[in-house]
Structure 1
């Protein structure tokens, strides 16, 4: 079985065209070229907090901020945070549905419309990065840009128009960051567990061995089917409820077939586990958890860290799959934006529950961005300690 241990700030994996993958580094926001502006005079009221520059302040400053941007197949998300003890406090955030991978399964390319939507969202992110005192930032792109034949061209366009340098990460790095960002919500217990991430263009399953500050990854697999790509791959079959159910079963079949090698490899771990534990991070699980709670609108505090009976998630998934899209769109916490894609998410979730039949599911409203932030802060802290040790060594001489 594949084996690697996150977080490894020096780890590198195979390189994809258009970006580096698998390492934590200083991916600073780089402003696009523009005419120089005069610096504000002293006493002008200009705030250091809103400065668009990135001064080389000492890392120990409590005002330092770190940023993580995740451009996925369906969403563009940004978190900006400051260290707070062993954790961090979010000071700014942004999320927008951009549907970057819409139509990618058929054409193999990012469409002009989807790129324009993503660029509009990234422009908002760039402005937030300018206003905050960001020391280190990392911006990543996932499955849509990995698969698209024009993915590298889009990355270059983003850099030229917004100043944001996107890093196309590998599926392995995506899985590592997701685990790093959410593993603390896993239920306590003995034996291996599974963490999964249902994205827009891919789904990752990771078998971990909990223990210590960071779990050890025993095995993992990523398949190119997320809520967008699976919806595009399995076409609608007709207007009746039975047609909808048939499409739903086909989606499950596609997922199970894709994960067949992983299923075979982890069979012994599943049979040996006395208490099967499962943790999911994605819009699918947080949405279904909201439906389970009967929330009138989404509430992260109520959902993040929730433990839900798997039987309840299966029942909700089956009911949603059987509904007409117009009916799903009227439900709280789903709405018209999620009405179409939530069915694919439900099919993926049920397939995962077949693969790793845990009686309960832990829900995480955190993942890649939080993993990036923890990696950046940890790497910066290690660098600061090394510099301090070097200074002390020089003083002793």
Structure 2
């Protein structure tokens, strides 16, 4: 089995195809293109037409690399530059069309978790607490974990591209500009000291382009076997100052595509060492794209990280599990009635939303669906992209009351079938006890659904009958048709 990962980083775009061999993933092919997405913002914070064109051209080539892989075996993600771009939704639509696969925008926390997952898979097994630092084009992720699991993680909005643009835009490298860049990065990272500083980890690793570039320089200069120590950064700082201009940068072992951003990268890395008190850091391969591949392997092998996040949130919310499973089972049954050719991914989201539908009750039983929407929207849920979390939150919000609040999301973010199935499940389970559903069938119409239900059953359950009639009115108020007839 082949799996594909696409990393739309703020500096470089990468695509990796891995071949699954048992529990391992072996690289089948890898391709990288330097796009510098974080260097292509206009004054409004939007990605410029020029940088979009460069990015789309790279994605068109990636599409050819991925040709033949089914959508469920490819995961494409955007990081910090796409998180902050004011025109990200518009660019995302174009990017998905060109790539030919959906693209998720990761939260900083999710990016950090996947970075650690990727590094942990490529490092020797150990029970030590490992710090992983990943300096990207527009953000820096810090993670402490044990084994294959990240325990604490955070993302900071500094990287090699945005730091280079901010402090070395004219190309000149002076003692003042280099120190200003390092000090500004240290200020951004100051709060990380408590969580990630010395004493919180046993060994430190650097991941991604910037650290890899510095590690390669240290090796090429004969300073180490790839380990980077504070004295190495000081030597590099002095060498940068002697070069005076970015156009004159020439380090042994430095790839040409890193030259323009290495000054900013060294400033960020120096700040990391200063703030965290790092004495030495070793290189770690893998990073985000390998983390994506292993996370994807979990999804296609029924070891989905998202299931663990749902279980964790259920536990934290102290849910009535019997009722949660009751609603989930009814919702799934109704969904297959509404949509006989059930979409597996929609069923998954419907079940997750049903399991969490009462999580807002930990705040208040009044308007708990709105509290649940807030919780699901803002909780730290490993495995979920920002869009996936928004979809799940919207489903939780849609479970009861008027539909005006989710009208714009219907058939855009969430499907009509899943919303209706969840709402009907909540109605049928209102008594909080097991219930045998009435015989029913349904057919799709141009603007909704026509359903038929067993009259004898409805007559024996007058409150449910009333709630179902009320449900048809809720749908009519957003110009959607729901007819429930007895037979």
Q: Please, what TM-score do these two structures have when normalized by structure 2? A: 0.57
Alignment coverage as a number of residue pairs: 304
- In the superposition, relative to structure 1, how do residues 164 and 171 fare at CA in structure 2: closer, same or farther (>3 Å)? same
- Residue 266 of structure 2 aligns with which residue? 346
- Listed one character per residue, the Cα deviations across residues 71-118 of structure 1 (whole Å, up to 9, x for unaligned) are 011111000011123321111221000112214274411011111111
Could you say which structure has the larger radius of gyration? 2
SS at the partner of 1:101?
helix
- Residue 27 of structure 2 aligns with which residue? 90
Query: 1:311·1:359 contact (CA, 8 Å) conserved in 2?
Result: no
Query: 2:143·2:150 contact (CA, 8 Å) conserved in 1?
Result: no
- Residue 79 of structure 2 aligns with which residue? 142
Give yes or no for the alignment of 1:223 onto 2:156: yes
Shift of 1:184: 4.7
Q: Distance in 1 between matches of 2:171 and 2:179?
A: 14
- Residue 22 of structure 1 aligns with which residue? none
- Residue of structure 2 aligned with 1:287, choices 200, 210, 213: 213
Query: 1:187·1:362 contact (CA, 8 Å) conserved in 2?
Result: no
Q: Distance in 2 between matches of 1:184 and 1:237?
A: 40
Query: 2:131·2:203 contact (CA, 8 Å) conserved in 1?
Result: yes
Shift of 1:148: 0.6
SS at the partner of 1:78?
strand
Query: 1:109·1:149 contact (CA, 8 Å) conserved in 2?
Result: yes
Query: 1:236·1:244 contact (CA, 8 Å) conserved in 2?
Result: no
SS at the partner of 1:66?
strand
Give yes or no for the alignment of 1:355 onto 2:275: yes
Q: Please, what TM-score do these two structures have when normalized by structure 1? A: 0.69
SS at the partner of 1:382?
coil
Shift of 1:207: 2.8
Q: Distance in 2 between matches of 1:132 and 1:238?
A: 43
- Residue 378 of structure 1 aligns with which residue? 298
- Residue of structure 2 aligned with 1:248, choices 173, 178, 183: 178
Gaps of 5+ in 2: 305-487
- In the superposition, relative to structure 1, how do residues 277 and 358 fare at CA in structure 2: closer, same or farther (>3 Å)? farther
Q: Distance in 2 between matches of 1:260 and 1:79?
A: 34
Query: 2:7·2:13 contact (CA, 8 Å) conserved in 1?
Result: yes
Gaps of 5+ in 1: 1-63, 297-301, 385-397
Give yes or no for the alignment of 1:74 onto 2:7: no
Query: 1:292·1:313 contact (CA, 8 Å) conserved in 2?
Result: no
- Residue 99 of structure 1 aligns with which residue? 36
Shift of 1:332: 4.1
Query: 2:71·2:101 contact (CA, 8 Å) conserved in 1?
Result: no
Shift of 1:165: 1.6
SS at the partner of 1:108?
coil
Give yes or no for the alignment of 1:128 onto 2:72: no
Give yes or no for the alignment of 1:327 onto 2:264: no
Query: 1:234·1:251 contact (CA, 8 Å) conserved in 2?
Result: yes
Q: Distance in 1 between matches of 2:28 and 2:100?
A: 21
Shift of 1:132: 5.1
Q: Distance in 2 between matches of 1:311 and 1:237?
A: 28
> RMSD in angstroms over aligned alpha carbons?
3.0
- Residue 232 of structure 1 aligns with which residue? 165
- In the superposition, relative to structure 1, how do residues 67 and 332 fare at CA in structure 2: closer, same or farther (>3 Å)? same
- Residue of structure 2 aligned with 1:262, choices 192, 206, 215: 192
